Every structure is written in C-alpha cells, then in structure tokens.
Amino acid sequence: MSTAIAPTPAEAVSTPRSASLFERAQQVLPGGCSRNAILRKPHPLYAREASGYLVTDVEGVERIDFANNMTSQIHGHAHPLITEAVSRQLSRGTAFSFGTEIEIEYAEQLVERSRGFERIRFVNSGTEAVMACLKAARAFTGRAKIAKVEGAYHGLYDYAEISQTANPSNWGSSDRPSVNPVAYGTPQGVLDDVVILPFNEPDTALDLLDDYRDSIACVLVDPMPHRAGVIPATPAFIAALRSWTAANGALLVFDEVITFRSAFGGAQDWFDAVPDLTALGKMIGGGFPIGAIAGRADVLEVMNPLAPKLLFPHSGTFSANPVSMAAGLTAMTFFDRASVDGLNELADYARTQLTDAIAAARVEACIAGGGSMLKLHFRASAPRTYREAYESAPRLRAIEVFLNLLLEDGIILINSGAMAFSTPMRRETIDRLTEAVLKALRTMRPDIERLTASGD
C-alpha cells in the first residue's frame, strides 16, 4: 500500500503572478532559479516586499517568516537601523580599492565576541569561509586530508561537500562511512583526501581518525548540523574531536555559518572546547552577502601577505565591502547578550508550545534544536545521528505537506521543516505559529499514522 500523501489545497492553489514569473524564469535560469532553496511545487513564491517578521508575496499575501532567508535575517526584514546604516554607506560608495575603517571596527567587535577569535578575515559567503578555513588548515599543517561529518552541509567547496547527500543506498557501513561525491565530475583526488566521520559517534570517529593520524589537516564540524536534523553535537563528540586534533597536530574547525546565532559567542559557547578556526556567514551580514574566517592568530598568519613567507594567498574583490560591513556591524551590535538571551527564551517558549501542540494533536512527532532554531520531526523522539535523522521519500513528502499547510495558513518555514526566529518576534507570533502547527498536525493525523505504521 502506498503511503504517499495526496496533494494539499496549497499545491493546487492558484497564484498566477508567481506562476507566470516562474514560467519566465525558466527561459533564462536553469530550473528557474539561482538558488535551489527557493523551489517548491508547483512553483516558487516571489516576494514583493518584507518588513519585520512579515513577507508579502507578489499576489499581496502576507505571511510570518520563520525561514528568515535560511536563518540569516536575525532581525527580520528591513530593520530600520540596518536600512539607515546601509543607506548612509550607499551614498558614500559601495566598494573601493582602499581599506575602510568600518572593516576594522567590525573585526574588532567580532574578535571581542568569542573566546577563540583572535584574528578575523572577511569574505563573501559561507562557502568561501569554509573553503578558506580548510585551505588555511592545510597551509598551517602541511597536510592534505580533511575529515568531515556525514550528511553535514558546508557549502559548495569540493572537499566540504563530500557525502553531504549520503543516503542508505550509498552510505556504507556506519563504522566506515563511504566517501560520496555530490557533483558529477568530482576528481578522485578530492575523494582520496576526505575522511567521513559519523555524527555524534565519538568512538567510531576516533577509530577512523587514527587510521589517518599523520595526514589530517583538520576536522570540520557544525555544532548543530541542519541536514542532520538540527540536533546539537554531544559534548562527548566535540570533546573527542578537540582532544584528538590537539594530540595529533590537526586543527578543529567549526562551521558556525548557521549556529553563530545560538549564543553570544556562537554555539561554541555550549562546549568546553575552543575550535582553532570558525567559519561564519549568514546573520553576520545583517541581510547582505558575507562570510568570515575567525580563529587563532598563529593559524591565520598563513593568510598574512606581510609575513616573510605567505603560505595561503587569499583575496576577493568584494571581501569586506563597506555595505556588508555596515549592515553586519549594525546587526551584530544590536544582537547583544540581552538580545541573544531574549531570542533563545522565545525559542524555548516555542519548543514548549509546539510540544504541547503535538500532544494535543495526538500525532507521533517531536521538536529538536537548540538556541534560536528548532525542527519538527515526524518521530516519537529526536534523532541522535545523521542516519537516524535521514528523511526517506515518504517522510520528505510528509514535510512537504506540512510546509504547504502552514503556507496556506500564513506561515513560512525553512524547506526542511526547520524554523529560525528573529528579534522582532514576540510570544504572540509564536502563538500564531503554534495555532497553525496544531491545525496542520490535526489535518495530517491519518497520514502521520500511516507513515508511523509503515516504518519508513
């Protein structure tokens, strides 16, 4: 018997302006887009404008935004202080072949923010930040191999994306995960230099790392990988990676492109361990493109063009452009300790409310997450590892239906079913979310029961 869920009204709903824009888009953009994250069936929705936590589409329909451009809009949309700072900068020029004071000011602020940030270098995206961390680790250690966690998304750099889409047909045994390319044509040499670690399995990870003791430049880990179900790394996993890297001349690299929002100094504040390097992005741009590499001064010295020997030449036409600096500096100035704590408290409130909604709807589901993010799983308890969190086709379909029901009800989530909160939100905003989730879960109850019974 098929467990596939029938189309929902949202999938049939007529949104003529977005439909026709998608038609046009497909004539000039492969798949009609420049980023796959906007896609949904039957077509993406196109935005007209946004303010605070509300986004209005081209039909004029307003919805509450819990996606926040994939977690990056920490203060929601068009925040007046960010708009003012950016407007001021726009009228003064947007990019020069001179330095700007605002780059220094922003670097000084970020360096104050986290224990491990002694030096910082700005780039333009999270992909670029992760790439630069890996290249810096190689230059510093003189080693080639990168160890990374199965299923974790770190952007598009060849080495960082390996096994990001691992699935039961190719992931191999759990104590020796396969090394799977994502893009066709990935050179064999790349695969040979990547070691895949199982998430939150410290003993297995250490066994694997020991096999490559003398050739690992760094271990790259996201402290709460989105693709692994928005589940925090366990302290034992991080402690194992920290002590192994320190003992074996390798570096520990955190990808905090998403998780930096989780605590004042990033999710690394959750652990005793301090990483050697951290990749940043998303929210530190205040709504504009950005990335940054932060970490130990002696490691980042490999990028110092004034050093007697430059080990890692690095540049970028728009790196540290003053518009991203102005937006980022303003956004992070207002994401101070009180603001971080307030947002995390709001997320705690949401976790409680949504857990109550799941109980009231009498469906098998749970809430995972940490800091100001969470994700609803159609499982009795939160998964612990990437393989436990893996969403089979029927589960993906259930998430799709859930997203569509919420969309119909005026709520936007991240396309995995995850949610990221923004500072303009209040408890009433969460109450609106809870109400919509309860309604969607009640509608989906027979489907969820079938999903649970099927064992998919």
Binding site for ligand PMP (CB under 6 A): 70, 125-127, 130, 153-155, 222, 226, 255, 257-258, 281
CB of 159 to ligand PMP, least distance (A): 13
Nearer to ligand PMP (CB atom), residue 263 or residue 363: 263
Output phi, psi for 428, to 5 deg: -65, -30
Instruction: Give the chain's end-to-end CA distance (angstroms, integer).
Output: 12
Structure-token match 């451009």, residue found: 69
CB of 205 to ligand PMP, least distance (A): 19
CB of 188 to ligand PMP, least distance (A): 24
CB of 448 to ligand PMP, least distance (A): 28
CB of 129 to ligand PMP, least distance (A): 7
Nearer to ligand PMP (CB atom), residue 257 or residue 329: 257
Whether the bond into 198 is cis, omega within 30 of 0? no
CB of 282 to ligand PMP, least distance (A): 6
Nearer to ligand PMP (CB atom), residue 29 or residue 104: 29
Cα 143 from Cα 145, distance rounded (Å):
6
CA angle 263, 267, 270 (to 5 degrees): 90
Cα 300 from Cα 140, distance rounded (Å):
8
Beta bridge partners of 50: 55
Distance of CA 250 to the CA centre of its chain: 25
Nearer to ligand PMP (CB atom), residue 372 or residue 434: 372
Nearer to ligand PMP (CB atom), residue 10 or residue 257: 257
Strands 251-255 and 216-221: parallel
CB of 316 to ligand PMP, least distance (A): 13
Residue number closest to ligand PMP, CB atom: 126
Buried b / exposed e over 82-93, threshold 16 CB at 10 Å, is beebbeebeeee
* Nearest residue to 424 via CA among 359, 357, 342, 350: 342
Nearer to ligand PMP (CB atom), residue 52 or residue 126: 126
CB of 428 to ligand PMP, least distance (A): 29
Whether the bond into 42 is cis, omega within 30 of 0? yes
Complete edge-to-edge strand list for the sheet that includes strand 366-370: 366-370, 373-377, 418-420
Nearer to ligand PMP (CB atom), residue 39 or residue 453: 39
* CB 224 within 8 Å of CB 231: yes
Nearer to ligand PMP (CB atom), residue 283 or residue 398: 283
Nearer to ligand PMP (CB atom), residue 121 or residue 450: 121
* CB 147 within 8 Å of CB 219: yes
Which tokens in the block code for residue 329?
């500096």
Concatenating the DSSP letter of every residue in 329-350 gives HHHHHTS-HHHHHHHHHHHHHH
CB of 35 to ligand PMP, least distance (A): 8
